[in-house]
Amino acid sequence: MNGTKAGLKVAVVDTRPKVGGNCTHQGTIPSKALRHAVHQVMQYNRNPMFRYVSEQKWLSYSQVRETAQKVIDKQIAMRARFYARNRVDLFFGTAKFIQPHEVQLDLPDGQSEVLTAKDIVIATGSRPYRPPEIDFSHPRIFDSDTILTLNHTPRNIVIYGAGVIGCEYASIFNGLGAKVDLINPGERLLAFMDDEISDALSYHLRGNGVLIRHNESFVSVEGADDHVVLTLESGKRIKCEAFMWANGRTGNTDQLNLDAVELKANGRGQLEVNERYETGVEHIYAAGDVIGWPSLASAAYDQGRSVSGVISENGTYRKINDIPTGIYTIPEISSVGKTERELTAAKVPYEVGKAYFKDTARAQITGEEAGVLKLLFHRETTELLGIHCFGDQAAEILHIGQAIMSQKGEGNSIRYFLEHTFNYPTMAEAYRVAALNGLNRIF
């Protein structure tokens, strides 16, 4: 859409018969819609006021999938309107390079045609990595795409991989009442996050009955008619009704015939780009999951806008670097800026300010008292260096601090939160509490 607004003639090729891409159909939108439905049921069951109305309620996985589908349908309709309004030409099929400025489009009816363009953007996204020794055709073995086809609520499920996707689905199935084993090949959950926030998630999941096993590697996954058995290198064998693989993703580049334009993807199917999102071929660009980190829908949107700016030569592009992270576990996690570990390694004299949700009036009113807002700031200049939040609406709360952190000079100071009035009661006032807590540590 940004390309058409800049006066470019734009065509979009999508392998699906409906617009939206991985984000809408199999990634961000369905998983977050599932999570929201489960969270609402958990809130209902946790609130003693509702005991006067009825006993606890439980939804099946199929029921929460229906709510997710309604959101997906709305997103498809909205995006289709955007394409139509901006006169973007849509093609549904599979594209591959045949020359530097030409792609062959293979249509569902077996026909093909050639599209020619001055500039080409690769935004094919990614898919779950599938180890060849695991039989993903088995009806009880899933990845993060096929888990959306599960038609019942398993009594127990093993999730292999404790990254963002693994932790989110562990929360979802735990909220549905399933017993969850979360198998982590690493030493800690979400190792890229601030240690304290990662520990808070681990504590919270365990407190709700999720069994977390760290430093485990799989040997085999064997499916039977009514169960799956996971064998680990440590000798452990775990039996479950359903198994979900959530360890790694691969860029969708294997069908693009990159050799025709002398491009090469790395071992994960990803393409390398420069600060202008150009690949090794001058007029071919790439954005989104296909270029790797941070593999977030929010970043992909900004990257796409930047590519449009480069191609249209209007100069409005930027390399997306300091990106907020939103992880939709139950409760949520969100983060931007430096972690304590990074600041300590860099020998930056920082201090910490905290506000615990249980001490804020708004959290007491909503009943969402589990959580903390953590501010990291320079103890001499009071510059805001990092924001880390764990708790309900963390991904929303974070953006208040992000706006201050992006200011230049004295505008980026933790003192902002003391010099301005916040509505009461709100979750936003946690910033004032955290700022006071941190500044009181300075002597």
Cis peptide before 294 (omega within 30 of 0): yes
**Any known ligand binding at 309?**
no
Is the Cβ–Cβ distance between 105 and 256 less than 8 Å?
Answer: no
Is the Cβ–Cβ distance between 189 and 167 less than 8 Å?
Answer: yes
**Any known ligand binding at 408?**
no
**Any known ligand binding at 421?**
no
Looking at beta carbons, which pairs linking 92-97 to residues 24 or more positions away fall under 8 Å? 92/13, 92/14, 92/15, 92/16, 92/17, 93/13, 93/15, 94/13, 94/15, 94/255, 95/13, 95/256, 96/255, 96/256, 96/257, 96/260, 97/256, 97/257, 97/258, 97/260, 97/261
**Any known ligand binding at 327?**
no
Query: Which amino acid is it at 393?
Result: Q
Q: Estimate the crossing angle of helix 28-46 against helix 61-85, to 10 degrees.
A: 140
**Any known ligand binding at 163?**
yes
CA distance 315 to 6: 11
CA distance 90 to 396: 34
**Any known ligand binding at 167?**
yes
Is the Cβ–Cβ distance between 13 and 93 less than 8 Å?
Answer: yes
**Any known ligand binding at 273?**
no
Query: Where are the alpha helices (H) located in 324-382, listed in sequence order?
Result: 340-345, 361-366
CA distance 80 to 126: 22
Residue corresponding to tokens 């017993």:
179
* Phi, psi for residue 399 in degrees, rounded to 5: -70, -20
**Any known ligand binding at 32?**
yes
Greatest alpha-carbon span in the chain: 74
- Tell whether the torsion through CA atoms of 59, 65, 70 and 75 is positive or negative: positive
Query: Which of 254, 249, 315, 327 has its CA nearest to residue 288?
Result: 249
**Any known ligand binding at 162?**
yes
What totals of helices (H) and strands (E) does the chain contain, helices first?
12, 22
Query: Which tokens belong to 237?
Result: 């064998």
**Any known ligand binding at 289?**
yes
Burial class (CB in 10 A: 0-12, 13-18, 19+), 380: exposed
**Any known ligand binding at 315?**
no
Is the Cβ–Cβ distance between 175 and 38 less than 8 Å?
Answer: yes
Binding residues for NAD(+): 161-168, 248
Binding residues for FAD: 32, 124-126, 289
Binding residues: 32, 124-126, 161-168, 248, 289
